[in-house]
Structure 1
Amino acid sequence: MADLNAIFTAMGDRFNAQAAGSLEAVFQYQIEDGEPWFVAISEGVCQINQGEHDDPSVTLTMASDTLEEVMSGETDGMQAFMTGRIKADGDIMLATRLTSIFPVA
């Protein structure tokens, strides 16, 4: 299992406030082999917390290894979604913005 704390910390470090713009959204990550996390973006600020949000905009379900591969750039998020490695529920179009909001180094 991937180190979720390290992955979400790195995600916070890569947050691009300019790309987020005026976005108000909550991305819920349901990790099949780990703890749930959520990323809340509001007024150009990103907050990352372990746990479940009451009202997420979109919920992304995947294994920790898939998350690690997408965050490292090893796997394309859209490709992982199309092949069923990532399941999305809610505002799926929001999920397509993740690559610009959290660009891979």
Structure 2
Amino acid sequence: MSDIKVDGFKASDIFVDLHAAFGGFTDAQRKAQVQKTKGIFELRITNDDKKEAVWTIDLKKNGAILKGLASPKADVTLIMSDDTFSQLAAGKMDGQKAFLTGKLKAKGNIMLATKLAAVLQMAKEKAKL
């Protein structure tokens, strides 16, 4: 899982947990999540030191969490601060509010971005089990 971790980012721990949750899925659960979401998210997150890290959530083909740029191209790219992502993942901030206030920027299929909250919530619930 160290291949997912990036030092200096709170989001990194969230992606490690997400990766672990996806790793615990049966093939049927993974296929169901892919069927439900049908998209590739590329998340570009900037920390307090203005460094950027990129993670990809592939829920189009194989249901995987990867560090780095999306390949093939992402359906939606989300750009935000480390704090904003942490708050979104914890359910303390609403994605639409973050978008409308400029804390979250999206390129590509913006409607797909609305499914990210459900993916994060599912991973959070799976991690508690």
For the aligned pair, the TM-score class normalised by the smaller chain equals: 0.7 to 0.9
CA apart distance, 1:20: 4.7
The residue number in structure 2 matching 1:48 is 65
CA apart distance, 1:5: 2.2
For the 8 Å contact 1:20–1:101, the answer to whether it is kept is no
Between 1:28-37 and 1:52-61, the stretch displaced more is: 28-37
Instruction: Tell me the number of residue pairs that the alignment of Structure 1 and Structure 2 aligns.
Output: 104
For the 8 Å contact 2:55–2:65, the answer to whether it is kept is yes
The residue number in structure 1 matching 2:106 is 88
Aligned-partner SS, 1:21: helix
Higher relative helix content: 2
Q: Within the alignment, does 1:11 sit opposite 2:25 as a pair?
A: no
Unaligned runs of 5+ in 2: 1-7
TM-score when normalising by structure 1: 0.81
The residue number in structure 2 matching 1:29 is 43
CA apart distance, 1:68: 0.3
Question: Over the residues paired in the alignment, what is the CA RMSD in angstroms?
Answer: 2.3
The residue number in structure 2 matching 1:98 is 116
For the 8 Å contact 2:33–2:63, the answer to whether it is kept is no
Quickly say closer, same or farther: Cα 1:75–1:23, change in 2 above 3 A. Answer: closer
Amino acid at match of 1:25: G
Aligned-partner SS, 2:103: coil
Quickly say closer, same or farther: Cα 1:22–1:74, change in 2 above 3 A. Answer: closer
Amino acid at match of 2:99: F
Higher relative contact order (CA 8 A, sep 6+): 1
CA apart distance, 1:19: 5.5
Distance 1:26 1:89 in 2: 12
CA apart distance, 1:11: 3.0
Amino acid at match of 1:78: Q
